[in-house]
Amino acid sequence: MSKDLGYGALANEIKKARSFIIASHLNPDGDGIGSILALGIALRRMGKDVLMYSKDGVPFNLVFLPEAEKIRREFPADRHFDMAIMLDCAQRSRISEEFAALKDADIFICIDHHLLEKAEADLLLIDKAAASTGEVVMHLLEEAGFEITPDIAQCIYTTLVVDTGFFKYSNTSAHSLEMASRLVKLGADPWASAKNLEESRPIETIRLLALSLSTISVGMNGKYCSMEISQKMLLDSGASMEHSEEFATYPRSIAGVEVSALFREVEPELTKVSLRSKDIVDVAKVARFFGGGGHARAAGARIKLPLGEAKRSLEEIVKKELGE
């Protein structure tokens, strides 16, 4: 049974521990990586033994973040940790099979800003009002009395711009804008995040986008739009799957569309879907039908079906949610 803690209580627990493994979900985004780095840097500055872990490594557009090179892809064997901290993720298997099998950790902790149905952790810190998990990490660090250095500020600022879409999504609030201002005053460089996330796309990304845009399909009286990426498109464009991380916003941008889905063929029997909505449908609810999760307006899942079958299966759920 997981126990919900407030900021102060968890800060005290973290101060007691000496060794940590900090991780986020597979196919990590800016919130996951930025949160790992912000917390990891802070704990190391306090003399803690910290291993920062990401099974899929660091996406190409996030390697600019301070100490990104210290995140390990290899899971440590035969090593004990006082705490295993999951960031922006509540299920151990969503981090990696190796992490899910980890036995030699005294306490598992989940730090997140998503509404959770269940969490595979002993202790929880969930702040649904936060715009990003990085924001939760910042409040935790301040509660613990840790200094927010320029490097930490850069990492947390990046979590904010990623999860708010550079302050244009519906989760943007006066508070998130005030926090961004504070982070800039603490040393974050907005142009560094914008340049690397928005202005440094490899040519392969644009070639892949052109192929993917040709698959756009609108249905359900114009309320649903899908787009797809196949393994053949990756070969033809010379791109890798990580080059498509931001494509999910394109089908949602069409006038009249309420729900959009980007389908990515990971393997012949495995499809990843990224869901977006504008105002009405809770796409996290849709994602949970397939073992995924996320926010009301942005969610995702890994569907163990071929691309075509995954599309048909998800469309049936979306149709019900739209009342079509």
Residue 116 has what pLDDT?
Answer: 65
Question: What is the domain range of residue 254?
Answer: 203-322
Predicted confidence band at 293 (pLDDT cuts at 50, 70, 90)?
Answer: confident
pTM for this predicted structure: 0.88
Instruction: Look at residue 293 and give its three-state secondary structure.
Output: strand
Q: How far apart are CA 244 and CA 250, in angstroms?
A: 11
At which of 198, 228, 257 does a domain end? 198
Instruction: Provide the domain count of the chain.
Output: 2
72-90 tens-digit pLDDT? 999 888 889 999 999 998 8
Residues 70 and 174 placed together within one structural domain of the fold: yes
92-113 tens-digit pLDDT? 888 888 988 888 888 999 999 8
Residue 307 has what pLDDT?
Answer: 96
Range scoring the smallest mean pLDDT among 86-90, 140-144, 182-186, 262-266: 86-90
- Residue 131 sits in a domain whose CATH number is 3.90.1640.10
Mean pLDDT (the chain) is 93
- Tokens standing for residue 61: 């557009």
Q: How far apart are CA 233 and CA 244, in angstroms?
A: 11
Residues 166 and 227 placed together within one structural domain of the fold: no
At which of 158, 175, 198 does a domain end? 198
Residue 267 has what pLDDT?
Answer: 94
Residue 171 has what pLDDT?
Answer: 87
Residue 6 has what pLDDT?
Answer: 86
Residues 111 and 225 placed together within one structural domain of the fold: no
Give 277: exposed, middle or buried? Use CB within 10 Å, 0-12, 13-18, 19+. buried
* DSSP H helical ranges for 50-189: 97-100, 133-143, 150-163, 174-185
